[in-house]
């Protein structure tokens, strides 16, 4: 399973989402939506071995988490406004209690809480916080295999998905630095010295896992 937690420091957490101003009035919700699309979508399908949690910290009201599960989600298309429309429906609802996931639609769940709750829920996963100044995500002298050997993959049809292989979670930020202190079960790793936009970083993570590059965990 591949998991991505994207932190939106200013992202609107409740109320009416301004669909025509995702980059401004919505608190850079556009950045989170692009990260969501990069996490879950391939050219013509969803990654059913992937889930995404958007962390909405911009208020009004308490911090909020939206979880989108690739093996279940429907009604989302590869277009930012379509995704924003689904998020907008959720933000009209009251924020649920921390730790209580409420199903809002097929594959979309809603809960209160912050990144600490997500880390606790990922206790059985290897958790990586992406940080440009840390060790590389891959081992020294790692090679790209000549044939793809995915580290995480689905083995059954979409009616009864069965995910096998690596269980890994990535934490990354929006357009602001990820300046948080993490528990010992979270390790920092880099995908390069340059700070990349979130959706590009996610694409690199997927590539490494898709091809079976040996990771530095």
Q: Walk along the chain (217 residues) and give the pLDDT tens digit of each residue.
A: 999 999 999 999 999 999 999 999 999 999 999 999 999 999 888 999 999 999 999 999 999 999 999 999 988 888 899 999 999 999 999 999 998 999 999 999 999 999 999 999 999 999 999 999 999 999 999 999 999 999 998 887 656 668 899 999 999 999 998 888 888 889 999 999 999 999 999 999 999 999 999 999 9
Going from N- to C-terminal start, the domains of the chain cover 2-211
Query: Which backbone phi and psi does 19 adopt, to 5 degrees?
Result: -65, -25
Q: CA–CA separation, 38 vs 151, rounded Å?
A: 18
pTM of the model: 0.94
Residue 207, H or E segment: helix 198-211
Q: What is the pLDDT of residue 76?
A: 86
Q: What DSSP assignment string belongs to 67-133? A: EEETTT--S--SSHHHHHHHHHHHHTSPPPPBT--EEEETTEEEEE--HHHHHHHTTTSEEEEE-TT
Burial class (CB in 10 A: 0-12, 13-18, 19+), 27: buried
Q: What is the pLDDT of residue 22?
A: 95
Class of domain 2-211 (CATH, top level): alpha beta
């Amino acid at each position: 399973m591949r998991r991505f937690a994207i932190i939106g420091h200013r992202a609107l957490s409740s109320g009416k989402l301004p669909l025509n101003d995702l980059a401004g009035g919505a608190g850079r919700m556009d950045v989170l939506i692009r990260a969501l699309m990069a996490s879950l979508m391939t050219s013509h399908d969803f990654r059913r071995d992937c889930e995404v949690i958007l962390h909405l910290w911009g208020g009004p009201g308490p911090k909020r988490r939206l979880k989108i599960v690739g093996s279940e989600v429907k009604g989302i298309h590869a277009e930012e406004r379509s995704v924003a429309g689904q998020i907008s429906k959720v933000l009209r609802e009251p924020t649920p209690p921390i730790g209580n996931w409420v199903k809002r639609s097929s594959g979309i769940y809603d809960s209160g809480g912050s990144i600490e709750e997500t880390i606790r829920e990922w206790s059985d996963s290897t958790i990586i916080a992406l940080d440009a100044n840390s060790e590389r995500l891959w081992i020294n002298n790692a090679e790209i295999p000549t044939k793809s050997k995915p580290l995480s993959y689905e083995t059954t049809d979409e009616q009864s998905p069965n995910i096998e292989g690596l269980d890994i979670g990535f934490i990354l930020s929006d357009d602001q630095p990820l300046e948080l202190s993490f528990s010992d079960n979270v390790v920092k790793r880099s995908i390069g010295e340059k700070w990349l936009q979130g959706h590009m970083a996610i694409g690199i993570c997927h590539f490494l896992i898709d091809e079976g590059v040996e990771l530095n965990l």
